[in-house]
Amino acid sequence: MAVSPRRMNAALIVRNEILKLIWRYPEQSISLPTSKQVAEQLDVSQRSVLREYKRLTQQGWIYSIHGVGTFSCPRTNDRYATTSKRNIALGFNHGYSYIIDYTHWAIMSFVGLKLFGNPVFAMPRLCTLSVSSVDDIYDEIRRWKYDGIVWDMPSPNVLAALERLKADGVSVVTVFEKNPNISRVTVDYPATGYKIAELMFKEGKRRIWWGLAEERDRRQLPGIQEAYSKHGFVLDDDCVFADVDKFKNALSKVIRSGELPDGIFFNGNEFSVLHQKFEDNGLFERCLIASDRGRGDVAGLDDESEFNVSNRILYHYPLMEMSKAAVKLLKKQFDDPSSPPEEIKMAKDVVLSV
């Protein structure tokens, strides 16, 4: 029988609430609510609360006195005690789980490191959700009383809830997805497409196949078309593939005929699937391949892995710069709560690996 997201996240909900109470007074021992009170407040089972109280006791966060109550342990010698009272939620997509690819894992990690830097600006808190509707997401995040939120690639419902929280005065920044009422860091996809096409042309490539199966890849098409127009070239419709199966079928045909295009563009997911086909048929030597760094995104491998090949155009997100920009936008909202929402656009880094 499937376990509901609420049951899966009960422990995280309890832990988050208790640690927030502790960090309000890190150098003091404060009285904590009873397991029954916490269960009623958070709408979880008392059993879940007791289990998490036991875990927090074993980890040295709290202690209990029989017949008196439960209390926090002062953290006077702990680096965490020096932090400000700001608690910043870090979330991803729909907020249910964190089985995510390298790109988004790196964004959240870099943002967290930047927040908890030297000096400490705020405490990053991983935010997982147990609900899915806009109203419930809004209520759940609001109940946790975060001072600010950085959410990577929020789902439509999360984005709508974040907009309401922003209207309430919470500092909010999103990464990848945009809403005009929220400060955001986005990718300049047309600029990325333009840079890739220009590099292809610089290497003397003219007949280029563009695999644009994913929606975010298709956002690069205006930039690609701009580069073609600049040089007086024509981008034929039969060189643009919005369907990955059609792309694979067309590729199989040209491999059999030997009439390969000069260059091929596609993203990392497709690259991982097609890598062996390219290698077996010598495509790396016969045409210029452009793809993102894809191995890390898909396989979690190091940069110098089996997918690292020469004579290939690599493009990837400037993850560290995007993370710094997200924190910059967040800090600006704390400095000036009345500041209007901003958008920072960044093109992907594009290089020729030789």
Contacts of 101 (CB under 8 A, 6+ apart): 297, 298
- pLDDT at residue number 273: 63
Do residues 177 and 185 lie in contact, with contact meaning Cβ atoms separated by under 8 Å? no
258: which 2 tokens?
A: 């030997």
Per-residue pLDDT reduced to its tens digit, 187-219: 999 999 999 999 999 999 999 999 998 888 899
- One-letter identity of residue 148: G
* C-alpha dihedral (113, 60, 140, 109), degrees to nearest 10: 20
177: which 2 tokens?
A: 């997805």
- pLDDT at residue number 272: 59
43: which 2 tokens?
A: 């709408």
The whole model's pTM is what? 0.68
- One-letter identity of residue 83: T
Assign 82 a pLDDT band (cuts: 50, 70, 90): very low
Domain limits, the chain = 1-79, 83-181+318-346, 189-316
- One-letter identity of residue 334: F
Quick one: DSSP state of residue 79? G
Kindly list the distances between the CA atom of residue 13 and the CA atoms of 158, 192, 288, in Å, as whole numbers in the listed order. Answer: 17, 40, 50
Beta strands in 8-100 (DSSP E): 31-32, 62-65, 69-72, 87-92
Q: What is the mean pLDDT of residues 64-70?
A: 89
Q: What is the mean pLDDT of residues 218-244?
A: 94
Same fold yes or no, 83-181+318-346 and 189-316: yes
Fold of 189-316: Rossmann fold (3.40.50)
Q: Using CB atoms within 10 A of its CB, is residue 214 exposed (0-12), middle (13-18) or buried (19+)?
A: middle
The chain-wide mean pLDDT, for the chain, equals 83
- pLDDT at residue number 263: 92
CATH architecture of 1-79: Orthogonal Bundle (1.10)
138: which 2 tokens?
A: 């809004």
Is the domain spanning 83-181+318-346 CATH 3.30.70.580? The answer is no
Instruction: Report the 10 Å Cβ neighbour count for 217.
Output: 22
